[in-house]
Every structure is written in structure tokens, then in C-alpha cells.
Amino acid sequence: MGVLLVFFSISFINGKGKGTDIRKSFLSHLYAALDQKGFYTYIDSEELQKGDFIKPALMKAIEDSRIAIIIFSENYASSRWCLEEVAKIMECKKQRDLTVFPVFYKVDPREVRTPRESYEKAMVEHERKFGRDSDEVKRWKNALSDAGSLSGWDLKDKDEAEADLIKRIVQEISMQLDRTPLHVAKHPVGIPRQVVKLKSMLNLESRDDVLMIGLWGQGGIGKTTLAKALYNDIFRGFEAPYFLANVRETSKDSKDLVHLQEKLLSEILVRKNLTVSSVDRGINLIQHRLCRKRVLLVLDDVDDVKQLNALAGGHEWFGKGSRIIITTRDNHLLTVHRIDEDHIHEVKTLKDGEALELFNKHAFLRSKKIVIRKDFVDGALHYANGLPLALEVLGSFLCGRREQEWESALNKLATSPDKTINDVLKLSYDGLEDYAKEIFLDIACFFKGRSIEYIMKVLNSCDFDTTIGVQVLVEKSLITKEGETIQMHDLIQLMAMDIVKQECRDDPRRRSRLWLCEDVCDVLSGDMGTNAVKAIVLVLPKTEAIYIGPNAFTNMRRLRLLIMINVHNSFQGPICLPNELRWFEWPECPWFPEFSSCPNKLVGLDLHKTNIQVVREQFK
């Protein structure tokens, strides 16, 4: 990373009065305190401050520094050398995001930025020497005005002791130098192009407004990675940057929100052990303490609007030019927080070339030349389907393994998802209300790729609030609407199917949904259904047959959905269906179904390929 350099700009002009002893007292003590903390400091020597031009080594030191401290004393502006330094420092602040702190050592900040008193006299003398319209003098004046307007420390004769001021300066610098770039990813493939787009969305050139943007997408898609990369690219341009990670995990109740408020305030205000008594008190503190600071705040993995209300409730909480970045799986949270669509970036799966690059970086070591069949690599890429988390996990797992192991692993993953990937994806499901979970599992197990109209019709028959439910699933990044159909990532579908299998891994009869041909055939042919089964969808291959006993559905008293495709001539007589059935779709059914009593809950009936010519009275 290089040296964490602190550059000091200070006048070595001797004078009579209040600035004379600065080198022997204040500066030497501050230097010693920083040195004790392990910071490398660069102070231009009196010997260097000779001649008409600033030395190249000094310019390089300013450019290489993370922080510049300008000590404005009584005689500072008398030195052309110091004026060149402050001009260079302010130039680096704009161009290189150099952090600059002024120390007003026994001078009023207004003397520096106006200028007045000794600073006015010094500038008059420079104008006399170089000309009132000199570009050089104008540059110095602008630099003094800009530097004098910065937030820093003001030490007057009767103010706090120098030792206390030095302690505060060292604490601030320690906090600033702790604000190092975040670790993004071992291989941040596909990230730079998205950072460029987001920087444009942030409109960083504007300092007159406060802007909030959202990064939205499914679990494992790379929202946090992208937010870290964006933060690293821009954080040095802000007075108060902070990345608040894992908001969802660390805010289960109001006490946790208070803790997050304390962390946010402590980091930005550079105050350790700051205590917040309640969420409401924390809201007031954030509003009052940050409303004049140019803040860069990243709230990572937000899943509840209460978190936003407690940490970044409004634009007016922050100073002009502030930028708030929110990552979430829930698009609706951003809408509720008044973030318009133009400021919401949907993080999508990687492009094919990027997916291959990321997978290869994890799966193949440069030091080992292992040849793997292309169809195995293609199979792994198809499984991950552009999801960065899956590409990294799968690539790392397969790294260094032989072809036989690749084949075995891919066969296993086709029916049993990787636990690391599954746990991340399942978080979105866990946050759903019960009705939305039911809708999601039905879509994942039965209806992926089907038309929205058909899905709505079927699920509405089951007495679900399907319209709002489907919208919630879209907002939670669990499904997508593509044209007139509903789609979802293959790994999300696999996660959903695994949830159903986990209901009873060894016994399909005790699962809520059946869709695999083998499971359906075993349950129906042996009359082994149970009260656990809620829905069955069987699309039987045309080359296969299934025997269904007359009492196959007798024990499935909670069955609400039954769809049988390509199933015909599978039984000898009418079957008896439970009264809870809402949707019955069996195009080739040769018999009219019977119910244990009146089918008063049946909403959908599809027998369009049957030869039945007489409709029973109860279905008219």
C-alpha cells in the first residue's frame, strides 16, 4: 500500500510575537505524538525553504501523502514557499482526494480566508512584488481561501491546552488513516464496468444535493462486492466516509439498531465510546451531527425499512454533496424510502465471457496444467448461470480435481444444491410471509417458465393473494417477469425444491409438493398419499405409464392442486378426490372425478382432451 504519509506545511520565518515558538513547542510535540503512533511524517526543513522554486522532492512528498496538515501561524503568508505549498496541497485535494486539515495556531480562521491582519499585509506585499493581477498571487489567494474554509482546529491564546489539541489531532488522523480501502474480492471480474455506471448515477460533480441510490439484486449476485468497489473508488473525496456492513445480520431488534447508530456516529465523528440511549435519540444525533458534513455512507444488506429510518431517514440528515448507497434484495424497500427508479441499479448476472473468466480464475491454478473436458466446464457454467457466488464456490471446489471428480460433483449438484450457495439464497425466502412462501414454492416446483396469466389463474384458485404475492417475489429478487412469463434463476429454483425435499428427505409422501415422476408414481400407485401433500404436478413422459389406484388420493385431505399431463388409461374406474381440491387439470382423464362430498371449493377444471360426453349435475 505504501507509506501512510502525513505532510506538514509550516512557516520557518522567524518573527516577533505569537507565532515564534511554534517549531520548538507545538510542532515538536505533535510530531512526537504522531511518530509514537507509527505514522511517517514529512516536514519540510528550513534548509529546503530557500530559493525561488518549490523543490521537486517536496512536490512529490505532497502527492504521495494521505494527509496534509497546514499549520497557519502569524507569518505563514509571508513565505512564498508556504503559499506554493498550500496551492499544491489544495490542488492535490481536488485531483488526488488528499485529506487536508488546517491548524489555526493563534490566528483567526477569518484572517486566512479573507485575508485580514498579517495575512492581508503579506498578500499586499506579494501583490506589490509580483503585480496585483499576477496569476501566481491569485492562485495563492484562492488556495488560502479554500484551505481557510476547511474544518480543522483553532488554537487561540486562551483556548484549550496544546497537549489536548495534539491529542485530538492525533485521534482524528488515526481515524482518517484507518479509513483504508476495503477488500473487494480476489477476482473482481465484471465489477469495473458497473462502477463506471454507478459513478455516473451518483453525479459526484454536484455538491449542491444529497443523493441516495440503491443496488438491488438476488443473493450471491455481487451487490456487496460492487458496493465495496464503488466505495473504494470514491471515498477519499468525502469528508466522512463509512461502510456499514451486514445491516440485516446485526439488527434483529431495536437494541441492535441503537448499536448500529453508535457505530455510524463513532466512525464518522471520530469519537470512541459514543453512547446512544434509544433509536429516537440516535436519529436526532445523526441529524444534528451530520447535517453539515459531506458524507459517503454505504448501508449494506438492508432488509427492513426500520433500518433505513434509523440510519438514513432523509436527505436533510446529511450535508450537501453527501451520497448514500443502499444494497438490498428487496426493491420495495427502496421505493418506500422514496428512491426513484432512475437511482436504482439492478445488479444482474455476469455476461457469458465474464462468467467464464471468473470461473477459470477459481477453478484452474496457473501452476498446475490440468486438462478438463469442455463439456464439464460448460456444465459448471450452466449450473452457476452467471451467479458470481456460485462461480466462485463451484470453481474453488473443483480446483485441482480430476475429470472423474468433476463429473461426479456435477451429477450431485444437479439434484442437491451446494450448501454454501443455498444458505445465501435461502435468506430471501426466510424473510417472506407465509402466503408468499406458498406462492414461491408453487412457482418454483411447478410453474417456472409458464405464462403469468396461467399462473395467476391457478394460484388464485387456491385462494392466494397472488397479485401482491408475485410482486413481492419480484421485489425480493426471487422471480423475474420476462415478457409474458415468470422465470427464476436455476439455483433459486433448486433452492426451493430443496426446501420441499427437506420437509421429509426420505419419504416423498410426507412432503407438501410432488413433481418428480418417480416420487409421484411411487405415492399414487401404492395409495400412499398423506395429509401433508398439498399439490401434485406430473408431466409424464409419453413413453412411460403410471398405475393409479382408486384410493390414491383418499388420504390427501389437504390436496388443493392436481395437474396430470400425458396421463391416461392409468386406472380401471373413477377416482375419489378430496373436497379441498381447488384446481383439477387432467386433460386425458377418461372418467369424471368423484369427490368424497360436494366439490364446493373447486374453481378450475380442465378435462379438454377427455371423451366424456355427459357432465354431472354438480359440475354444471
Query: Which residue(s) pair with 240 in the sheet?
Result: 295
The total number of residues written for the chain in this structure: 620
Q: Is 224 in contact with 392 (CB distance < 8 Å)?
A: no
DSSP 429-440: HHTS-HHHHHHH
Cβ pair 85, 9 in contact under 8 A: yes
Q: What share of the chain is helix, strand, coil (3-state, %, to 5)?
A: 45, 15, 40
User: What 8-state DSSP symbol labels residue 181?
Assistant: P
Catalytic, out of 85, 267, 392, 475: 85
| Alpha-carbon span 439 to 73, nearest angstrom | 71
Neighbours of 431 (CB within 10 A): 15
3-class SS of residue 277: coil
Which spans in 79-183 are helix H? 80-96, 109-113, 117-130, 135-148, 162-178
* CB within 8 Å of 439: residues ≥ 6 apart: 459, 464, 466, 469, 470, 473
Three-state SS at 463: coil
CB contact at 8 A, 36 and 80: no
Q: Which residues contact 126 (CB under 8 A, 6 or more apart)?
A: 80, 83, 134, 137, 140
* 341 tagged catalytic: no
Residue 169, CB half-sphere, CA atoms under 13 Å: how many?
34
- Coil, strand or helix at 539: strand
**What's the chain's Rg over C-alpha atoms?**
34
C-alpha cell at 79: 513565505
Nearest CA-CA partner of 437 in 505, 373, 343, 500: 500
Q: Are 428 and 477 in contact (CB under 8 A)?
A: yes
Q: How far apart are CA 481 and CA 458, in angstroms?
A: 17
Determine phi and psi for 123, rounding to 5 degrees: -70, -35
Q: Cβ of 522: how many Cβ atoms within 10 Å? A: 16
Q: Please give the Cα distance from 513 to 504 (Å, whole number).
A: 11
One-letter identity of residue 609: K
162 grid coordinates: 496544546
DSSP structural state of residue 219:
T
Which positions are catalytic?
85
